[in-house]
Every structure is written in structure tokens, then in C-alpha cells.
Structure 1
Amino acid sequence: MTVDEDKIDDAVLALMWLTIHDERRAWKSFDWGATDRLYRKGLIHDPMNKSKSVFLTEEGLERSRELFRSMFTRKAE
């Protein structure tokens, strides 16, 4: 089985939307490999610090919101 890391990264970024606080900070209790890839993609700031949260870039915040809506919401009936 081959894992699609881009799909994993999208899911992690979408789930970060659930924990947004202080306008663009999210808890970083996700796989370190995924947060490192999100950092390299320019979607979050450097996750390698003592803080329990990570700062999303403008692009990361927007993409997080879009992914959350597309993956985890239902269409209005």
C-alpha cells in the first residue's frame, strides 16, 4: 500500500481548522511528519518550538477553512 502524503496533509490541515484560536493559531498535536510537510509547503510557520500550537500562514488559514468545508460539512437541505 502506498500512502498519499498530500491527502494526509490535507486532512491534517482541515482538522487544524477545528482548533483555530487567536485568529490563526491551531493546536499542533498531529504527526510531526505531516506538520513538517505543511511547513515546507508554506501553510504553517515553523512547528519546531515549545509552543503547543502552530501559526497558520494566510494561505494555510484559507486552505484549512476550504478543506474543512469540503471534507467535513454537509450541503444544506
Structure 2
Amino acid sequence: MPLDPDRIDEAVLALLLLGLHDGDRVWKSFDWEALNRLHARGLISNPVGKAQSVVITAQGKEQAQALRDALFGAERRP
């Protein structure tokens, strides 16, 4: 079955938020193609380089929070 790269990018962006540290830095331990697409869309800094993390932009952080809640949020149970 073919995979939808847009849906992959959404999941990667949401998961990047879980590794948030030092303000706006996130660990870049995800698929390189997905990271490159997120960079091309202006959601993270350039993933190419020796650093093990990238900076998530304000727009990227906002989208990541919405995607995290939509994809992984759980309603609180009584």
C-alpha cells in the first residue's frame, strides 16, 4: 500500500514536540525525508548538520501541538 507523505509529516511533527528541550529545540531522530519536508515548509530549522537537534519554529510548534492533541490526545476519564 502506498504511504501518504503528508500524513507521515504530520505524525513526525507531532512526535517531535515530545522531544522538546532547551526552549525550542527538538531531537531529530526521525526519517530524514520527513525532516527535510518539514524544513521546506518552514516548520523546523535545517536538519542537515552535526547537531542532534533542530529548532522548531513558532508556526511548527503551534501545528505540532494541534496535531499532538488530534492524533494522540486522550479524554480524561472520571
Deviation at 1:7, TM superposition (A): 0.2
- In 1, the alpha carbon distance for the partners of 2:41 and 2:75 equals 30
Does 1:13 pair with 2:13?
yes
Unpaired runs of at least 5, structure 1: none
| Structure 1 counterpart of 2:59 | 59
Deviation at 1:76, TM superposition (A): 2.4
Structure 2 counterpart of 1:21, one-letter code: H
Does 1:23 pair with 2:34?
no
Does 1:3 pair with 2:3?
yes
Structure 1's consecutive aligned runs of 4 or more residues displaced over 2 angstroms after TM superposition are: none
TM-score, normalising length: structure 1: 0.94
| Structure 2 counterpart of 1:35 | 35
Structure 2 counterpart of 1:11, one-letter code: A
- In 1, the alpha carbon distance for the partners of 2:43 and 2:70 equals 18
Does 1:45 pair with 2:62?
no
Unpaired runs of at least 5, structure 2: none
Number of residue pairs matched by the alignment: 77
- In 1, the alpha carbon distance for the partners of 2:21 and 2:61 equals 11
| Structure 2 counterpart of 1:69 | 69
- In 2, the alpha carbon distance for the partners of 1:6 and 1:74 equals 23
